[in-house]
Chain A
Amino acid sequence: MSDMPQAGTTGSDDWLVLTAEARTKAAEFLKADQQGCDVVRIKFDEHGKIGLVLDRRAPDDRIFAQGSVTVVVSGASADAVKGLKVDFKPDQGGFSLEGTFPGQDPKVGLAAFEKEKGAVAAPAAAPAAHAGEHDAHAGPDHTKEYLQVFGALIVLTAIELAVAYVIQNKAVMILGLVVLALVKAALVGLFFMHLKYEHASWVPTSRIKWKYIILVPPVILACVLVFLLMPDVGNTGMYGVLFGEPSTVNQSPAGGVDVIREGEGGGEHKGGAEHKEEHK
Chain B
Amino acid sequence: MSHAAAVHETKVEPNEGPPITPGKLAMWLFLATEIMFFTGLIGSYVVLRIGSKKWVTPYTVEVRKTNGDKVEGESRDDSKDPLVLTSQIEGEPEIRVPRAEIAKAADGSFEIEHRDPLNIPLTAANTFFLICSSVTMVMALAAIQRGDRAGLHKFLWATILIGALFVSIQVYEYRKLIHEGFVPAASIFASCFYVMTGCHGAHVSGGVIYLTGIQIAAYRGKFSKTENTTVELAGLYWHFVDLVWIILFTVVYLI
Contacts and interface: CB of A to CB of B under 8 A. Distances in A.
Given A226-B46, A230-B47, A153 B104 contact: no
In which size bucket is the chain B interface?
35 or more
A50 B136 CA distance: 43
A170 B124 CA distance: 20
Interface residues of A, number: 80
A80 B98 CA distance: 90
A218 B107 contact: no
Given A140-B142, A143-B139, A261-B96, A214 B19 contact: no
Contacts of B131: 150, 153-154, 157
B61 interface: no
28 contacts: A3-B3, A31-B6, A131-B19, A136-B141, A157-B131, A164-B255, A178-B255, A180-B250, A181-B247, A181-B249, A181-B250, A185-B243, A193-B235, A206-B19, A210-B19, A214-B32, A215-B35, A219-B35, A221-B39, A229-B46, A237-B52, A249-B53, A257-B110, A259-B85, A260-B101, A261-B96, A262-B93, A266-B99
Contact of B50 (A149, A205, A215, A238): A238
Given A146-B135, A181-B251, A207-B19, A260 B108 contact: no
Interface in A79-135: 127, 129-133
A208 to B, nearest CB: 9
A197 to B, nearest CB: 12
Interface in A25-57: 30-34
Given A192-B138, A251-B107, A259-B95, A221 B82 contact: no
A144 to B, nearest CB: 11
A116 to B, nearest CB: 19
Given A127-B19, A178-B250, A211-B28, A260 B55 contact: no
Interface stretch (B8-16, B194-202, B207-215): B8-16
A76 interface: no
Contacts of B53: 236-237, 249
Main secondary structure of the interface of B (DSSP, over half): helix
Given A193-B240, A249-B103, A269-B101, A257 B66 contact: yes
Given A193-B239, A222-B35, A260 B232 contact: no
Interface in A212-246: 214-215, 217-219, 221-222, 225-226, 229-230, 233-234, 236-239
Contacts of A5: none
Interface string B220-255: 000000000100100110011011001101110011
